Chains A and B, each alone.
Chain A
Amino acid sequence: MTHPAGALQNWNIHALVNRYSMLTSSRPQVDHWRAFRDRVRDAGRDERANLLATASAQVRRDVLTMIERAGLGHVGGDFSVTDILVTLYAAVLSVEPAEPDWPDRDRLILSKGHSAAALYATLASCGYFPATELATFMAPLSALNGHPDRTKVPGVETNTGPLGHGLPVGVGTALAARLRGSSARTVVILGDGELQEGSNWEAAMYAAHQQLGSLTAVIDRNGLQQGARTEDTNALEPLADKWRSFGWTVAEVDGHDHAALADVFSASTPDRPTAVIAHTQKGHGVSFMTDRVEWHHRVPTGEELALARAELSR
């Protein structure tokens, strides 16, 4: 999953961003990712967790650099969802980064589109596009918009940003797979605050009604929304009971425990969609960002960056 050191430093923004067309895959990085995925699959539980933790630290360092260069971003939510994304792409999903439109691929839909930086860094580590592109994050004419655009970034399944859009689209991809006789899975990652949008519950009802066992919703339960705690804004609890009452199988997991995440994603129920409530922390991985509401979209400054990098390099 890691890419050559310095890939993000050796960049020429004008050479990279002067284009509108879709990015294309990086073969060497795809091979690298494939080898990494095989190692993860063959490893024992502890070793698997170590490998995934190393890859996650790299993604977090990339995200930090992207946000530093852009002067914008959502670092808190990026860091709460990083371990989930890395586990899915390295140990769970059946995807072909060199052939992003492969019809039988599993679908990963990032409904919390503001965590685009974490998604981009993860997709680049799989070789969907060269890691050097990460340096263009949010720069003029970059394919890497502040929220993901599927028409420009291979691996992005749908355009998100406004909240409450991912789960309905995921219900559609899961239905399409069943109608076409494909065993492809759909995984939708939702923010917890996002569950205040009613469209999610329209989709939750219908997924259960359709008995979509191939659908998994992962809730990045970091407890914070943009301005405050979810429970102080419009309380979500009892959250597991809500999903159960909508007809879903519910699993709860430590969203930063890679081995546990890999385990929970490998389980499913045939006739019921699964909601994985991943207990996470906003800003996880950097002590002074952890569980702090102001890091929803604060941009770290010089000293904070050095400190954060040091913690993520341990």
Chain B
Amino acid sequence: MIESTNLRPADRTMYDCRKAFADELATLARADERIVAVCNDSVSSSNLAAFRDEFPDRLVNVGIAEQNMVGVASGLANGGLLPFVCAAAPFLTGRALEQIKADIAYADRHVVLCGMSPGVAYGQLGPTHHSIEDLSWLRAIANLPIVVPADPTQTRAAMRWAVSTEGPSYLRIPRSPVPELFAPDTPLEPGRFVPLTDGDDVTLVAAGTLVWRAVEAASLLRIEGISARVLAAPFVEPLDEAAVIAAARETRGIVTVEEATVSGGLGAAVAGVAARYCPTRVRVLGIPGVFAPTGDVEFLLEHFGLTATGIADSARSVLADAGR
């Protein structure tokens, strides 16, 4: 369990995880000369300027050409290098989906696909730039672990895990500001949720940028005497099936929370496991099958109920349905 003092709004510093990403990439590259960065003209949006300056030969910028970018990464891995493909998540996953499937996942290449600024992080730039479909698309591809870090520490841990694990992976690197949630040595285990609060009334399973809001929702519920179990899901694939089954057995309903469409992502994965092994009420929070209206990130998250208040409302509603 983490110290809830980390989350008190008054002393909370918020971070853009792309900074931790850039620092860790340089650290990893200093220790491992196989590491190269591959990007699509995204040196600035992927925060790669420092990497380029330190390792000019190890930045492969293919220009605005995502299919080529992912194919090139597969070839670099064939040649013994370890590519980090860094590109805005909507274009990496949407434009190069077949390359991700065939050249990386099916060909079983040790390539780290890094989807930067996912979810609705691009706010007012609109649905073309929102990456809410990536979790659904990539969950449908075999042999592709999906890691959704929730804070800078987990971002670094995810990158170290991806380097030390043979084979492909997709890391969804947050841009929307998040507080530091995890102590530096918090382990990151594939296929394991990280429990953040204990509770036996309702379970909140959250990924990425919304984990801290789920923890805040649990605080709101606690005031009303509702104990919420909060589980952070750094791995959407492979999923922590045991934790889902335990939550379904030990609490009276599950609310999932993600900055993604409700069709096919974390919520669908959790609901599928619950339905199969221990049917219970599952409320899936995310972007509900629409293209987002114009608005900044805060507005959009509020609009779709992806706030502490909105999550708490859904928890109460699940419990009401369950006959509290």
The one of A107, A151, A165, A171 that contacts B99, using a Cβ cutoff of 8 Å: A165
- Most B CB contacts (10 A, CB to CB) among A169, A170, A199 go to A169
In the complex, the number of residue pairs spanning A and B with C-beta atoms less than 8 Å apart equals 110
| B79 and A160 within 8 A (CB) | no
Q: B241 to chain A: which residues have CB within 8 Å?
A: none
Give, as a whole number of angstroms, the nearest-CB distance from B166 to chain A. Answer: 12
Give, as a whole number of angstroms, the nearest-CB distance from B164 to chain A. Answer: 20
Q: B255 to chain A: which residues have CB within 8 Å?
A: none
| A175 and B72 within 8 A (CB) | yes
Give, as a whole number of angstroms, the nearest-CB distance from A311 to chain B. Answer: 36
The one of A103, A162, A164, A171 that contacts B72, using a Cβ cutoff of 8 Å: A171
A158-B103, A168-B68, A206-B68 as given contacts; A173 in contact with B75, CB under 8 Å: yes
| B79 and A180 within 8 A (CB) | yes
Q: How far is the CA of A257 from the CA of B296 in the complex (A)?
A: 63
Stretch with Cβ within 8 A of A (4 or more), from B56-64, B132-140, B270-278? B56-64
The one of B62, B63, B80, B108 that contacts A176, using a Cβ cutoff of 8 Å: B80
A205 in the interface (beta carbon within 8 A): yes
A203 in the interface (beta carbon within 8 A): yes
The one of B63, B78, B99 that contacts A173, using a Cβ cutoff of 8 Å: B78
Q: A242 to chain B: which residues have CB within 8 Å?
A: none
| B72 and A151 within 8 A (CB) | no
Give, as a whole number of angstroms, the nearest-CB distance from A263 to chain B. Answer: 27
Q: How far is the CA of A242 from the CA of B79 in the complex (A)?
A: 29
Give, as a whole number of angstroms, the nearest-CB distance from A135 to chain B. Answer: 25
Q: How far is the CA of A176 from the CA of B81 in the complex (A)?
A: 7
Within 8 A of B (CB), among A67-114: 103, 107
> Is chain B's interface secondary structure helix, strand, loop, or mixed overall?
helix
Give, as a whole number of angstroms, the nearest-CB distance from B26 to chain A. Answer: 18
Q: How far is the CA of A128 from the CA of B110 in the complex (A)?
A: 23
Within 8 A of A (CB), among B28-66: 36, 57-58, 60, 62-63, 65
Q: B106 to chain A: which residues have CB within 8 Å?
A: 149, 159
Q: B67 to chain A: which residues have CB within 8 Å?
A: 164, 168, 198-199, 202
B219 in the interface (beta carbon within 8 A): no
Q: B102 to chain A: which residues have CB within 8 Å?
A: 159-162, 165
Give, as a whole number of angstroms, the nearest-CB distance from B14 to chain A. Answer: 37
The proximity string for A residues 189-225 relative to B, scoring 1 for CB distances below 8 Å and 0 otherwise, is 0000000001100110110010000000000000000
A168-B71, A168-B72 as given contacts; A206 in contact with B80, CB under 8 Å: no
Give, as a whole number of angstroms, the nearest-CB distance from B239 to chain A. Answer: 24
A118 in the interface (beta carbon within 8 A): no
| B58 and A176 within 8 A (CB) | no
| B80 and A169 within 8 A (CB) | no
| B65 and A165 within 8 A (CB) | no
| B78 and A203 within 8 A (CB) | no
A167 in the interface (beta carbon within 8 A): yes
B245 in the interface (beta carbon within 8 A): no
A172 in the interface (beta carbon within 8 A): yes
- Most B CB contacts (10 A, CB to CB) among A162, A165, A174 go to A165
Give, as a whole number of angstroms, the nearest-CB distance from A21 to chain B. Answer: 13
Q: B76 to chain A: which residues have CB within 8 Å?
A: 172-173, 175-176, 179
| A173 and B71 within 8 A (CB) | no
Q: How far is the CA of A103 from the CA of B79 in the complex (A)?
A: 7
Q: B70 to chain A: which residues have CB within 8 Å?
A: 168
Give, as a whole number of angstroms, the nearest-CB distance from A201 to chain B. Answer: 9
Give, as a whole number of angstroms, the nearest-CB distance from B79 to chain A. Answer: 2
* B contact residues, total (Cβ < 8 Å): 29
| B75 and A180 within 8 A (CB) | no
| B75 and A103 within 8 A (CB) | no
B98 in the interface (beta carbon within 8 A): yes
| B98 and A162 within 8 A (CB) | yes
Q: B73 to chain A: which residues have CB within 8 Å?
A: 172
A157 in the interface (beta carbon within 8 A): yes
| B108 and A206 within 8 A (CB) | no
A19 in the interface (beta carbon within 8 A): no
Q: How far is the CA of A53 from the CA of B254 in the complex (A)?
A: 68
B141 in the interface (beta carbon within 8 A): no
A45 in the interface (beta carbon within 8 A): no
Cβ-closest chain B residue relative to A170? B75
Q: B69 to chain A: which residues have CB within 8 Å?
A: 168
| B74 and A179 within 8 A (CB) | no
| B71 and A165 within 8 A (CB) | yes
Give, as a whole number of angstroms, the nearest-CB distance from B178 to chain A. Answer: 33
| A175 and B75 within 8 A (CB) | yes
B300 in the interface (beta carbon within 8 A): no
A187 in the interface (beta carbon within 8 A): no
The one of B68, B72, B81 that contacts A180, using a Cβ cutoff of 8 Å: B81
B107 in the interface (beta carbon within 8 A): yes
A41 in the interface (beta carbon within 8 A): no
Within 8 A of A (CB), among B95-116: 98-99, 102-103, 106-108
| A203 and B79 within 8 A (CB) | no
| A179 and B99 within 8 A (CB) | no
Q: B57 to chain A: which residues have CB within 8 Å?
A: 179
Cβ-closest chain B residue relative to A150? B107
Give, as a whole number of angstroms, the nearest-CB distance from B106 to chain A. Answer: 5
Q: How far is the CA of A206 from the CA of B69 in the complex (A)?
A: 10
A177 in the interface (beta carbon within 8 A): yes
- Starting from the known contacts A168-B99, A169-B74, A176-B75, 8 additional A-B residue pairs (CB-CB under 8 Å) come to A168-B69, A168-B72, A171-B75, A176-B78, A199-B71, A199-B99, A206-B62, A206-B65
- The contact sample of 21 A-B pairs, CB cut-off 8 A, is A103-B79, A150-B107, A158-B74, A158-B75, A158-B78, A159-B103, A167-B71, A168-B75, A171-B75, A172-B73, A172-B75, A176-B78, A179-B76, A179-B79, A180-B81, A202-B68, A205-B65, A206-B62, A206-B68, A206-B72, A209-B63
